């Protein structure tokens, strides 16, 4: 995780705390709206990802963040609706955290690129294609 955070701080010009928060928001989205088996593979392949996800959940009161809550709510309403709601909520959370639209896109590209390095294109492709609206991040 340190490698990814370092990349983000230098690429986006943000501090480590914001980079950690942003990655936590993205991981919450993936966990709440992506296919469980593929997201589990991803979390296992990135050292520190599960811990960051737990930390992000505890900082938001244990609920996993607004993106996770909206993804879960939408999931009850229908799979694609849940993913789209989660993606929109995550985008809102990232902007509220202080990231610009360009920084959000850079974040998405870098996080997903890093994920591809760790678990491969097939796993990441399955996750991305299962979450409507995720293309806003990339």
Mean pLDDT of 59-75: 47
Answer whether 107's CB lies under 8 Å from 127's CB.
no
3-27: b (≥16 Cβ within 10 Å) or e = ebbeebbeebebeeebbbbbbbbbb
Q: Tokens 């409507």 appear where?
A: 132
CB atoms within 10 A of CB 108: 21
69-78, 90-99, 110-119, 126-135, range with the lowest pLDDT: 69-78
Q: Where are the domains of the chain?
A: 2-137
pLDDT per position as a tens digit, 24-63: 999 999 999 999 999 999 999 999 999 999 888 776 544 4
Mean pLDDT of 96-124: 95
Phi and psi at residue 9, in whole multiples of 5°?
A: -65, -40
What percentage of the chain reaches a pLDDT higher than 70? 79
């Amino acid at each position: 995780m340190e490698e990814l955070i370092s990349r983000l701080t230098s690429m986006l010009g943000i501090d480590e705390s914001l980079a950690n928060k942003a990655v936590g928001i993205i991981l919450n989205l993936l966990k709440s709206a992506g296919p469980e088996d593929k997201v589990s593979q991803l979390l296992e392949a990135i050292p520190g990802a599960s811990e960051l996800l737990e930390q992000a959940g505890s900082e938001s009161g244990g609920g996993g963040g607004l993106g996770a809550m909206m993804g879960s709510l939408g999931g009850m309403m229908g799979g694609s609706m849940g993913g789209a709601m989660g993606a929109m909520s995550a985008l809102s959370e990232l902007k509220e955290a202080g990231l610009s639209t360009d920084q959000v896109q850079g974040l998405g590209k870098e996080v997903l690129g890093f994920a591809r390095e760790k678990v491969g294109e097939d796993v990441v492709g399955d996750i991305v294609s299962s979450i409507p609206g995720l293309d806003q991040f990339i």
